[in-house]
A and B are shown apart, each in its own frame.
Chain A
Amino acid sequence: MPLTKIDRRSTLLGLGASAGALAMGTRFTHAQSAAPIKIGFQKHATGIGAAYGRWYDATTQAAAARINEMGGINGRPLEIVIEDDGTDPKRGAEVLEKFASQHECDVAFGTLFSHVVIGSAPRAGELKLPYFVVSEGHHVASGMLNRYTLQPGITDVKSQVQSMAPFVANNLGKKVTMIYPDFAFGHDHRDYFSAAIAAQGGEVVAKIAIPPTETSFTRYFPQIPRETEVIYHVMVGPAVLTFVKEMGEFFGPSRPEIFGFIDSLEAVAIDSPGLEFLEGTYFWEGAPRHAQANQTEYDAAFRAAVGVDDRGASVDDPRDISTYAHMFGCWDTLNVIKAGMEASGYRGPGDRAALIEAVEAMTDMPLGMDHPTGAKLFNGKTHQAFGEQHISRVEDGNLVVVHTASIEDGLYEDEVDYTTQSF
């Protein structure tokens, strides 16, 4: 079965990485201490986030292996300590305690789901454990969290949404109906997009919030007003395929333009049965799942390292689709941690504050092997990174990038200055 293969693969990668580290023992000896730098990886191995967790893991292992091949961090090898948070805020906080006190990790890293981030972040602050999240939530930049929590590897939802509005208003239509899950992630989309589309002279004509436990959707579609020119959808969870399929069945031959966030279809093949009607619709992508004509050498190398082909599927099983639009964030974040530790001359937990200050001092993160899917701009005050965003159109079952929003399109005024907080 496909999954066991992948799991074994990533395990092998991990083993390979540690074996490599052992073999390279001699290369690490020039450092004051050759003890590994430990990174606690909060993984959604079980629970609702498991589909993402698996790929966040594969990306993390690949990034760690690369860093170790290059000689580690400050001459010390990198060790990834994995703990499952069950995609649950309570367990997430417990796992952070485990990283800090039991495994004696230097930093914690890797969380995707916003409720786990928010449930864990207070503990990170109390334990004084730098906590690098890969969540795309606006919680970091909103100022809700603390100086120990940073998001340097992935753009937040407010920025993503804002940078989509010009394209939607100018190319697809000005009257938008939004369909989103009735929880905080959906409300962020609702609020930020409503404001952004209004700034473009458009309007949201209907907001349809779907209860998160829902498994069938057709009965909600009649609330879509006839005047709708664009449907904006961003569903998450295992029922999204049903959602997209039923939307197709509802509209039949006469559909408006449709724009969605690929979050709805991460880890799902775009050519799955029932998704034919997505042909000609548009998707946001943080990184294009399908290799584009102008693919950079970095993107190609990143795919090879993680074990993903040109269609964003596992090289072992073309039916096993990755979460390509998000998982690069783990790769980028590990490289930011490395750069921060090198800039601050990090030696151990006593230097955690210096590490955070070093990351806060970062600004440009240029395209390259450390940031293979695109350049980013980091805002040290809000602890948030901003990158280019893509809009892809489904053409013959391929996701073809038709527009790339610049970093500037996604910038907004600072809502917090974490650098004024004490450590």
Chain B
Amino acid sequence: MTDRLRTDLLHLGVIAALVVLFLTLPTYYAGNLSRIMVLAIYAIGYNLLFGYTGLLSLGHAMFFAAGMYGYGLTAQLAGVPALPAFALGILAGAALGLVVGALALRTAGVAFMIVTLMFAQAAYLTILHFGTYTRGDEGFVVPSEARIVFGIDLSGETERFAAALILFALVLLATGRLVRSRLGRTLVAIRENEERTRMLGYDATRLKLIAITLSGALSGLAGAAYALLFGYVGASFAAVPYSIFPLLWVLLGGAGTTIGPLIGVFFMFYLIDTASGITLAYLLIVGVALVLLTLFAPQGIAGLIKRRLPWLP
């Protein structure tokens, strides 16, 4: 079996497993799957830049928010129907990725972290500043017309799951192909040794710009999908914690692996959910778990698996 075939089979298996879980789990857990998949798309977008290209951004919430507001505001203020509004959301994420990338890629390492952090902070404040339209921190409820795609109301549990699954499947399969493609391998080469990649004749800056734009588009897609499927747009999604979460998910799940982001989101979601069922001091448990995990699973959970299955994409 070729690695490419194995990769595709793995991804199809993951998607099939999600469907089986949805059909067999009790209502509450089945419902969680939609949210987990949307957030996993966000994590995959982040992983593309961080895990594969080696650029650590601390401002990805701005891309998520760009998608969320790109979709939500056009639907809310201009009455744009769901599909075009959704496309605008993805476009907003990609465009912001391009602009931020063009500026921030002049820097590297920690300076890149700070520049992205500050751009995200400015984006967050901008949402608050234009509170007349965005309703600031409070946010707004997406009009129900804008949640109907091809006559299907996505606010139903099954419809929501189906929509989330389609988006997630497309993103997962596409990234599976992407990381095995020439572009994907060059991005990894940049991560491993940018100098050498340049000397081999690659335009590293342009490739990094492509990576950040793609990453912005995927994050924007996740933001728009969140608003579309859960009906709410708000500034808290543009705040610092939502820039930290994808980093955490990716590091926990396994950076530079295609299924790591999903595993990371799953893990964090149920870590918080389970711990909060045991005690109100669940953040303490989360904190301890994070420390223990870094001590004992240094490459993330997918990293542990990869040790057994070295072909893991």
Spell out A's residues near B (CB within 8 Å). Answer: 45-46, 82-84, 88-90, 93-94, 97-98, 101-102, 114-115, 118-119, 121-123, 126, 137, 139, 144-145, 182-185, 187, 211-212
Contact = CB atoms under 8 A, between A and B. Distances in A.
A182 B131 contact: yes
B141 A121 contact: yes
B236 A115 contact: yes
Contacts of A211: 125, 128
A94 B138 contact: no
A388 B237 CA distance: 36
Chain A contact surface mostly: helix
Given A84-B280, A119-B232, A183 B138 contact: yes
B283 interface: yes
Contacts of B230: 93, 122-123
Contact of B138 (A98, A114, A123): A114
18 contacts: A45-B280, A89-B234, A90-B236, A93-B230, A94-B32, A98-B28, A98-B273, A115-B235, A122-B232, A126-B155, A126-B156, A126-B231, A145-B141, A182-B129, A182-B131, A184-B136, A184-B137, A187-B132
Nearest to A87: B236
Nearest to A211: B125
A184 to B, nearest CB: 3
B35 A119 contact: no
A118 B232 contact: yes
A101 B31 contact: yes
Interface of B: 26-28, 31-32, 35, 125, 128-129, 131-132, 135-142, 155-157, 230-232, 234-237, 273, 276, 280, 282-283
Nearest to A137: B138
Contacts of B35: 94
B236 A122 contact: no
Given A84-B276, A101-B28, A123-B231, A118 B139 contact: yes
A372 B178 CA distance: 64
Given A101-B27, A115-B236, A83 B141 contact: no
B282 A84 contact: yes
B137 A102 contact: no
B28 A122 contact: no
A115 B137 contact: yes
A48 B135 CA distance: 19
Given A97-B32, A101-B28, A183 B136 contact: yes
